[in-house]
């Protein structure tokens, strides 16, 4: 689904022509066909969007919370009306199987808007502590830089809380998967937000993203992407001392305890790693299993991987689509080759495309066994359907290896609940999932260490976009 306004930007309540003439093709990664031409914004485009957001800030921040909630509810209603458009757009731009695009990608945008509205309705925006009045108000103009792998999840997790907090914003979606971002701008326009409150500029990170990050009129940057890019954003933002919230890379551990049902735990771990073609920053990509269960775990993992249906995203039977691009394909191929070179056991999958697929950035679902925690495939974020299975002797050893990483976004523990809780407390990660729970969109999401800072989802996201003001001497209510 190609948005009607893909060739223009949304600035100050109007669809406007880009100031520059540079264009890039938007590729369907399943076919390698170019499906649209995307204008790339310039620093001047970023500047005019920021100035529009600045001019709108005082009025939007002073708008009663109830009115801001009503505006986001209008966005949600239009989103729901265009739900299938979003699913089709994400299937086209990132190769997501259509059932996954509907049930996960488009659903993520919907549920995060719903959760954030509920959190705003329940939040104490002002309260007294003695004779001091505590007030939460929007931080100001926000630059929202979002990735290609979960387009609506990340746009909703930034735009909804920023709007509800009273912020104005400039959204820069990924230029690799820009269709759904343009669609989202269309629904914000249809929802009747005041001019300048929401702005969209397409473009690259090194140009538009860099300008937004250093702009003196931007008060906060909320960035989701690689740790490498996140450090560049933080460095650019530092001279103006703006707030920077980052959700970055991950190399999440999945500890299978001896008390776990091995079949359920291993199969669930494979499915979790392979979801979204492995292109999730919180994917459980390192599976730790008791040494005596290692070979049995490999056979369960093999059978689970061989049941994956890789193919045409438009086919409802497909469960895994392609990687996003040739760049990502080449990276994953290189890391699979590195795993083989360093002596890990290739259980299934491996180099090359799956049989029968000679076009598109499809890869073979890959399992490695007998991995050590020092191998490259256990250290680097692969961002593809590649699982490393690592044997352990004691739970202490498993915890030590799980924590032996520069990342700390997520972790997983499977086993008897009291044991799982105890192990979960010891893991250095922002979100620890016990026994594959349902997705909790009210739980804080964010990382330790080089996985970032700040927290997203519902009320946690709203707080990230707020300043806290104390009126000392306010007196009793």
Q: Where are the domains of the chain?
A: 9-248+451-471, 253-440
- Secondary-structure class of domain 9-248+451-471 per CATH: alpha beta
Q: Which residue has the tokens 């223009």?
A: 8
Active site annotation includes 247: yes
Q: How far apart are CA 312 and CA 321, in angstroms?
A: 7
- Secondary-structure class of domain 253-440 per CATH: alpha beta
With both helix axes pointing from N to C terminus, report the angle between 179-190 and 65-81 in degrees, rounded to the nearest 10: 130
Distance linking the first and last C-alpha atoms of the chain: 54
Average pLDDT, the chain: 97
Summarised one tens digit per residue, pLDDT across range 338-371 is 999 999 999 999 999 999 999 999 999 999 999 9
Length of the chain: 477
Active site annotation includes 281: yes
Q: What tokens were used for 112? A: 């995060």
Main-chain phi, psi angles of 23, to 5 degrees: -135, 150
pLDDT attached to residue 404: 98
Sign of the torsion angle spanned by Cα atoms 90, 94, 98, 100: negative
Q: What tokens were used for 226? A: 């690689």
Q: How far apart are CA 162 and CA 139, in angstroms?
A: 9
pLDDT band per the 50, 70, 90 thresholds, residue 271: very high
Instruction: Read off the pLDDT of each residue in 9-27 and give the average, rounded to a whole number.
Output: 96
For residues 398, 400, 394, 417, the Cα torsion angle rounded to the nearest 10 degrees is -60
- Indicate left, alpha or beta for 229 from its phi (over 0: left) and psi (-120 to 50: alpha): alpha
Of 26, 80, 90, 151, whose CA–CA distance to 98 is shortest? 90
Question: Of all residues in the chain, what percent carry a pLDDT higher than 90?
Answer: 97
Decide: 376 and 316 in contact? Cβ < 8 Å. no
Q: Which residue has the tokens 């191929």?
A: 333
pLDDT attached to residue 5: 87
Summarised one tens digit per residue, pLDDT across range 51-97 is 999 999 999 999 999 999 999 999 999 999 999 999 999 999 999 99
Q: How far apart are CA 287 and CA 255, in angstroms?
A: 6
Give the residue ranges of DSSP H helices in 123-174: 151-165
With both helix axes pointing from N to C terminus, report the angle between 179-190 and 83-94 in degrees, rounded to the nearest 10: 160
pLDDT band per the 50, 70, 90 thresholds, residue 228: confident
Residue from 188, 281, 348, 466 carrying the catalytic annotation: 281
Decide: 401 and 288 in contact? Cβ < 8 Å. yes
Give the residue ranges of DSSP H helices in 289-369: 294-306, 326-341
pLDDT attached to residue 1: 75
Summarised one tens digit per residue, pLDDT across range 111-133 is 999 999 999 999 999 999 999 99
Of 374, 420, 416, 370, whose CA–CA distance to 392 is shortest? 370
Q: How far apart are CA 213 and CA 233, in angstroms?
A: 6
Same fold, 9-248+451-471 and 253-440: no
Residue from 114, 247, 381, 419 carrying the catalytic annotation: 247
CA 81 to chain centre: 23
Decide: 158 and 112 in contact? Cβ < 8 Å. no
CB contact set of 81 (below 8 Å; sequence gap of 6+): none
Sign of the torsion angle spanned by Cα atoms 208, 214, 218, 220: positive
CB contact set of 446 (below 8 Å; sequence gap of 6+): 245, 247, 409, 430, 431, 452, 453, 454, 455, 456, 460
């Amino acid at each position: 689904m190609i948005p009607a306004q893909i060739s223009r930007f949304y600035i100050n309540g109007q669809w406007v022509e880009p100031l520059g003439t540079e264009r890039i093709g938007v590729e369907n990664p399943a076919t390698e066909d170019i499906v649209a031409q995307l204008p790339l914004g310039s620093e001047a485009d970023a500047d005019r969007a920021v100035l529009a957001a600045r001019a709108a800030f005082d009025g939007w921040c002073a708008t009663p919370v109830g009115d801001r909630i009503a505006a986001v509810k209008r966005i949600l209603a239009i989103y729901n009306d265009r739900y299938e458009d979003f699913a089709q757009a994400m299937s086209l731009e990132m190769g997501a199987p259509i059932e996954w695009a509907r049930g996960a990608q488009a659903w993520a945008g919907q549920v995060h808007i719903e959760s954030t509205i509920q959190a705003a309705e329940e939040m104490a925006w002002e309260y007294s502590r003695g004779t001091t009045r505590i007030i939460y108000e929007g931080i100001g103009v926000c630059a929202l830089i979002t990735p290609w792998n979960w387009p609506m999840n990340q746009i909703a997790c930034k735009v909804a809380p920023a709007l509800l907090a009273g912020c104005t914003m400039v959204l820069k979606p990924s230029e690799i998967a820009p269709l759904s971002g343009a669609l989202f701008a269309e629904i914000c326009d249809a929802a009747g937000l005041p001019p300048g409150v929401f702005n969209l500029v397409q473009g690259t990170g090194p140009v538009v993203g860099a300008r937004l990050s250093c702009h003196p009129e931007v008060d906060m940057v909320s960035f989701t992407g690689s740790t490498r890019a996140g450090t560049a954003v933080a460095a650019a933002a530092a001279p103006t001392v703006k707030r920077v919230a980052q959700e970055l890379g991950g190399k999440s551990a999945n500890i299978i305890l001896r008390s776990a049902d091995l079949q359920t735990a291993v199969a669930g771990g494979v499915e979790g790693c392979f979801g979204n073609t492995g292109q999730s920053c919180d994917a459980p990509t390192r599976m730790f299993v008791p040494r005596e269960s290692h070979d049995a775990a490999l056979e369960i993992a093999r059978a689970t991987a061989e049941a994956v249906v890789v193919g045409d995203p438009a086919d409802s039977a497909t469960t895994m689509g392609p990687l996003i691009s040739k760049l990502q394909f080449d990276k994953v191929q290189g890391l699979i080759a590195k795993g083989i070179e360093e002596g890990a056991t290739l259980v299934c999958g491996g180099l090359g495309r799956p049989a029968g697929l000679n076009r598109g950035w499809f890869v073979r679902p890959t399992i490695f066994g007998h991995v050590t925690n020092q191998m490259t495939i256990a250290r680097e974020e692969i961002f593809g359907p590649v699982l490393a299975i690592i044997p352990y002797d004691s739970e202490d050893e498993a915890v030590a290896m799980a924590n032996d990483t520069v990342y700390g976004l997520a972790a997983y523990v499977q086993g008897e609940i009291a044991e799982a809780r105890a192990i979960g407390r010891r893991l250095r990660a922002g979100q620890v999932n016990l026994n594959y729970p349902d997705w909790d969109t009210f739980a804080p999401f964010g990382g330790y260490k080089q996985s970032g800072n700040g927290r997203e989802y519902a009320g946690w996201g709203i707080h990230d976009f707020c300043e806290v003001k104390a009126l000392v001497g306010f007196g009793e209510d």
